Structure 1
């Protein structure tokens, strides 16, 4: 997909999200949320409980972009309210960031899962499903116009920086996305929760907090 030109995106970040500006829904965040609730651009809506749109101030200077909702998010209709959200809240606190001042969203807005009895097992959205959802993230970016972006996990990082980005090698590095916008990627909290050994979890958590501290310092620097 081609990048949004500056003429198309205004002062927003230049991220490869949509081929044409006409594909990006317009409106305030409340209007966008209502429109996204009726999205049928990919099959994920058929089994998900609801669309999980982003939340936070329309004037937020920092936007956190996760990967896709989990089971708890699907039920509550809010991003990062399950186990990974609780870990993210702790990391934000330890980094000196106030969640209520941030805009938090996901690259994909519906929960994808496979049923195993009464259990819903998370599945990664495929490339087509990710692509279908990018217009909603593009709309959020153009409405909020954050100056700092944080990609949580590989899917969000590659949405921001392209498929060649490798979070294992380029985590925590600022990249310019527009004259007044830069972003970095870090671990997704759910990746930490899946780690088997406490020592490794602690090390990754320290890296996550360290990356968020970089965001806090950049925010304070103006």
Structure 2
């Protein structure tokens, strides 16, 4: 695909009728909706409970996730699991996925250095996210970081300005008509990788847990 061409998008690979997340995951494994599939090891689809009450949406898989084929199994994933526990959220009620399903990176020697997915990648991958939500129908969405916020809440949304606040969703979503679910709630917070990069990691971690406690309070209420 030439660099100046818009990617075709994932819709061609999304089944028109699917009732099972496993079938959707199998279809996603064949996706060539943008050029990222060419260098990534594999599609990294979401995982978790099919009847999840809460869905976490992150940015994209990292190096470890790309190799293992599972989201949030690297350092950021381990930190997120700790934060979920500290916030009192039942892990069995969680489904976790990413806005972009392939790893975007720059090769430096033998190292694969993370690159943020661009707007074209987010748009191309959006049909998978829409299909996941149509099957899951959760009660609450937790948006992890700026890329996920752009994918779900629009380019003008700022996590740093609105984190930890309950919002109606999909009414607050970008293109809410894409999401055939009843109105639920959403909470935006920082991506756990931002905690790992923070100078004051303890304070950043407490902030993440506090935001997740807001989500837990909404479920409990």
Which TM-score bucket, shorter chain as reference? 0.7 to 0.9
The worse-fitting range, judged by mean Cα deviation, of 171-180 and 25-34 is 171-180
- Structure 2 distance, partners of 1:209, 1:111, is 26
Aligned pairs for 1:1-222 (under 5 A) are: 25=15, 26-27=17-18, 28-178=20-170, 180-195=183-198, 197=199, 200-221=200-221
Greater RCO (CA < 8 Å, at least 6 residues apart)? 1
- Cα distance between partner residues in 2 of 1:154 and 1:139: 21
Deviation at 1:175, TM superposition (A): 1.1
Query: Which 5+ residue runs of structure 1 have no aligned equivalent?
Result: 1-20
Structure 2 residue ranges without an equivalent (≥5): 1-10, 171-181
TM-score using structure 1 length: 0.85
**Residues 152-175 of structure 1: CA deviation (Å, up to 9, x unaligned):** 001111222111101111111111
Partners in 2 of 1:75 and 1:121 — Cα distance? 14
How many equivalent pairs are there?
Answer: 199
Q: Is the 8 A contact 1:24 1:138 kept in 2?
A: no
Separation in structure 1 between the aligned mates of residue 109 and residue 14 of structure 2, nearest angstrom: 38
| Cα deviation digits, residues 99-157 of structure 1 (max 9, x gap) | 23201000000001111111110001111111100000000000101110000001111
